[in-house]
Amino acid sequence: MKILVIQDRLRSGGTERQSILLTREFTAAGHAATLLLFRPAGALEIEARGIVYRPLLPFDSHLDWFAPGLFPAVTDAAPDIVLCMGRMANCYAGLIQRYHPRIAVVATMRTGKPLPLLFRRGLRRVRHVIANSRAARGALVERHGVDPGKITLIPNALLHPPVAPAERNVELRRQLGAGDNTLVLLNVAMFRPEKNQYELIKLCGRLPPCLKWHLWLAGDGPMRTTCERFVAGHGLGEQVKFVGYHADPRPYYRAADVAVLTSQSESLSNFLCEAQAHGLPAVAYDVVGTGECFVPGESGILVPNRDGKAFLDSVQKLAFEPATRERFAVRARAHAAANFDPGAVVRAHLELFARLAT
């Protein structure tokens, strides 16, 4: 099959990483796969090496929605399948299907944000829709009126599966000043308002003085400076560590103790899925799809959204109950292996595409 994957740009987000992974794996499976971008460059450009990808423009317009030449590019590619991944890419999905009725255009529901009008309209026009969580599938049916028969549930693939031996990264803990008895909380995400690291930092600042803790924040983005100022202004610099963007965050997963998430916009958190694969119990706000990344009460604790007290109580429970952490860790690894295996995710896409292309 000829598969065209469309993405807005290669910023360091989870959907962008999934786009690169899928394009690479489709190619490895013997299909002619191309990643088409609205904007060139981006933090993930290096990770895209080895796959066929092309931007619509040779320069960055700095406009996410601007896609000049999109329809001729689709015509030239002559794909059997068009897979729209980015939020803005999905805004064009219905129009692509309208102008190319013989091509199977597949939209994706991978966000907890409100959907733009063109995105919503396109959901009814496209040949099929992939939802990456049960919650996202429910929103498609109940909120947007999509026929359940044209929706397939395919979760995210692990972007960084554990590599054996998966021993605890003691050296990294020492480098960042965490002792053997320090509870290391980890968050891996872009610093955007909806990812809500600001609230996470404030919450951790309320942990009791008797608890030795660190909060490691891996990522970059527009909200990082605001968060850094808050940390400096409240004397939290010894405990809150901004470790920056890492193409491969696995060393941090192997060094941390608990994955924490206060995000307000998810569909299926890549971070939580990967944390589970590395045996990290989770404490997370209950937003769209979060409870599907782990098993509530068995591999993590799902907290009512914005309930800061419950969040802190859950963190302390895991801090002072190492046996619970260990039990959760075993269940976490099993859950991730059963649900987010990259090979299974890629096969599910290709089986769906084969049905749609006939």
CATH of the domain at 130: 3.40.50.2000
- Let me know whether 143 and 286 are in one domain: no
Domain extent for 316: 170-339
Of the candidates 294, 290, 300, 296, which has an alpha carbon nearest to the alpha carbon of residue 268? 290
What whole-number percentage of the chain has pLDDT above 90?
A: 90
Residue 272 and residue 192 in one domain: yes
Instruction: For residues 230 and 237, give the distance between their C-alpha atoms in angstroms, rounded to a whole number.
Output: 10
In the block, tokens 């907890």 appear at 112
Chain center to CA of 53: 21
Q: Do 280 and 140 share a structural domain?
A: no
Give yes or no: residues 64 and 110 share one domain: yes
Q: Tokens for 39?
A: 């904007």
Predicted TM-score (pTM) of this structure: 0.94
Mean pLDDT, residues 27-45: 94
Rounded CA separation 280/257 (Å): 6
Looking at residues 188-203, what average pLDDT do you find?
97
Residues 20 and 143 grouped into a single domain: yes
Residue 289 and residue 324 in one domain: yes
User: Position 345: which residue type?
Assistant: V
Give the other-Cβ count within 10 Å of 310's Cβ.
17
Triad 190, 194, 199: Cα angle to 5°: 90
For the chain, the domain total comes to: 2
Q: Which helix (H) or strand (E) holds 108?
A: strand 104-109
- 204 and 103 in a single domain? The answer is no
Name the E strands within 181-311. Answer: 183-188, 213-218, 240-244, 258-261, 282-285, 300-303
Tens of pLDDT, residues 249-288: 999 999 999 999 999 999 999 999 999 999 999 999 999 8
Binning pLDDT at 50, 70 and 90, where does residue 314 land? very high
Asked whether residue 165 is domain-assigned, the answer is: no
For residue 172, give both structure tokens: 């990294």
Mean pLDDT of 314-335: 97
Q: How far is CA 199 from the centre of its chain?
A: 19
